[in-house]
Amino acid sequence: MAENKPKNDVMEKIVSLAKRRGFVFPGSEIYGGLAGTFDYGPLGVVLKENVERLWLQMFRDDRDDMYGIDSAILMNPKIWEASGHVGSFSDPLMDCKKCKERVRGDKLIEEKLGIEAVVGKSLQEIGEIIKKNKITCPKCGSGDFTEARSFNLMFKTHQGVIENATDLIYLRPETAQGIFINFKNVVQTSRKRIPFGIAQIGKSFRNEITPGNFTYRTREFEQMEIEYFMEPGDKEMVKKTFDEWKKEVFDWFLGLGIKKENLRFREHDQKELSHYSSMTVDVEYKFPFGWGELMGLADRGQFDLTQHETFSKENLKYLDPMTNKQYLPHVIEPSFGVERTILTVLLDAYDEDKVNNEDRVVMRFSPKIAPVTVAILPLMKKPELTKVAEKIYKDLRKKFKVEYDDSGAIGKRYRRQDEIGTPFAITVDYDTLEDKAVTLRDRDSTKQKRVKIEELEEKIEKLLTTP
Ligand SMILES: [Zn+2]
């Protein structure tokens, strides 16, 4: 079983399987690549869509208190001054004097001494901690670094044909601000009253100094973010709402089929909190390289709307139609990363076992997110069998993600479906011509059952909805 393997081994296996089977490719590969970029292949894109669809369903469509928006990536640069990103969204950058490797001082310390050693430390302190603990360059082993300096993580670009300082803009480093600046628009055009939230999925960009661990830390990534607006002032109500979200976001990962023992909460301590937050809890996953952040739940208070009101000089207050009270809402923010979720799903699903004394690699995806739900496999490529199989394929594809495969030995075809995580496989054999039934194979147990063709749809539907 996967649990007994050396852990980094699992990461290597996932990277290789992801490429071999078309989940995730290295970015710009035929040109020698571009560090920290990845492209999603035919199966990866469906997996991603399935995960995002479930997220929208749980957090937007199945709730009475949520809306969606889709805001622009390019925004007025004043927004990033107001949000604090121009001033303080930076990492401590250091260069190894010997091999010129660029490193994040805080990460070097965190890896050696744990996160507690680095939270809230100044640039100068970071340099001192590295010297004192003889932390060395991860590439060449030298301990000779430049002083730590602040490096802003926002990607800069220019709008318009002539490049000058006045048309400098940024690629958004988070989708959250697109929600805040549209708060007034949503209030004015919709009928929900506070408390309500706005959800958005979209790309964000951060010029990370050290991207790595496959798709865990990348410079271009997708976020699934929610800003939840409520009346300020009532601390107990805020705490209660925060705790409700805490449960919801954890349940979301369990709903994807992630094993509970690989998930945990981690509360940020006072020094570690971002400039905008008074309370943050991460959901972490036990990655092969250690526990790592999967999503963050932050109490942002009134920080962002206050800032935007000041910088834009627009009145952003909410007028309660029942009480006539006017206020800037208190905000709770659940923020998820799509790539990290996908990586987690891949790692968590990976397993190896033996079937009929043969080694098998199997991706145990939840049927709700597997890129292919049902594989249709005629036992042999004979017209009398393929005719029936094609008919089943055409019928079922209206309802499910279905793949048809009639080439090669049946055992080999099962192995391929196991490796891409297809939960169900239908085999059409010669008995089918007599009994109008097929075998339905379960990926995890490899057990096969005889099912009437006319009952297939209902049967699969049932299997999909039972956990
Ligand atoms: Zn070095």
What digits encode the pLDDT tens for the residues 277-326? 788 999 999 999 999 999 999 999 999 999 999 999 999 999 999 999 99
What is the CATH T-level fold of the domain 2-79+154-347, as seen in this structure?
A: BirA Bifunctional Protein; domain 2 (3.30.930)
- The pLDDT value recorded for residue 276 is 67
Percent of the chain with pLDDT over 70: 97
Kindly give the distance from the C-alpha atom of residue 96 to the centroid of ligand 1, in angstroms, as a whole number: 5
Contact 363, 346 (CB under 8 A): yes
pLDDT over 80 (residue 458): yes
pLDDT in tens, 179-197: 999 999 999 999 889 999 9
Give the model's pLDDT for residue 4: 46
C-alpha 426, offset from chain centre: 31
Token pair of 182 as six digits: 């549209």
Q: Whole-structure pTM over 0.85, yes or no?
A: yes
- Give the distance (Å) from ligand 1 centre to CA of residue 135: 11
Mean pLDDT of 367-391: 96
* Residue 211 CA to ligand 1 centre (angstroms): 17
Q: Read off the pLDDT of each residue in 346-365 and give the average, rounded to a whole number.
A: 95
pLDDT at 38: 97
Instruction: Give the Å distance between the CA of 321 and the centre of ligand 1.
Output: 62
* Ligand 1 centroid distance, CA of 149 (Å): 17
Q: Residue 6: pLDDT above 70?
A: no
Query: What is the whole-number distance in angstroms between the Cα of residue 184 and the centre of ligand 1?
Result: 50
**Residue 464 CB neighbours (<10 A):** 18
| Per-residue model confidence as pLDDT tens digits over 228-252 | 999 999 999 999 999 999 999 999 9
Query: What is the 136 CA–ligand 1 centroid distance (Å)?
Result: 8
- Residues whose Cβ atom is located within 5 A of ion ligand 1: 96, 98-99, 101, 137, 139-140, 142
How many angstroms separate the alpha carbon of residue 134 from the centre of ligand 1? 13
Query: Band of the pLDDT at 275, cuts 50, 70, 90?
Result: low
CA distance linking residue 118 with residue 127, whole number of Å: 11
pLDDT in the model for residue 8 = 61
C-alpha 228/C-alpha 241 separation (Å) is 9
Segment 329-341, tens digit of pLDDT: 999 999 999 999 9
How close is the Cα of 320 to the center of ligand 1, in Å? 59
Domain residue spans in the chain?
2-79+154-347, 90-151, 372-465
* Structural class in CATH, domain 372-465: alpha beta
Fold of the domain built from segment(s) 90-151: Herpes Virus-1 (3.30.40)
How far apart are the CA of 98 and the centre of ligand 1, in A?
Answer: 5
Average pLDDT, integer, range 114-124: 83
Nearest partner of 344 among 336, 335, 355, judged by Cα: 336
Q: Which residues pair with 280 in a beta bridge?
A: 298
Q: How far is the CA of 343 from the centre of ligand 1 (A)?
A: 29
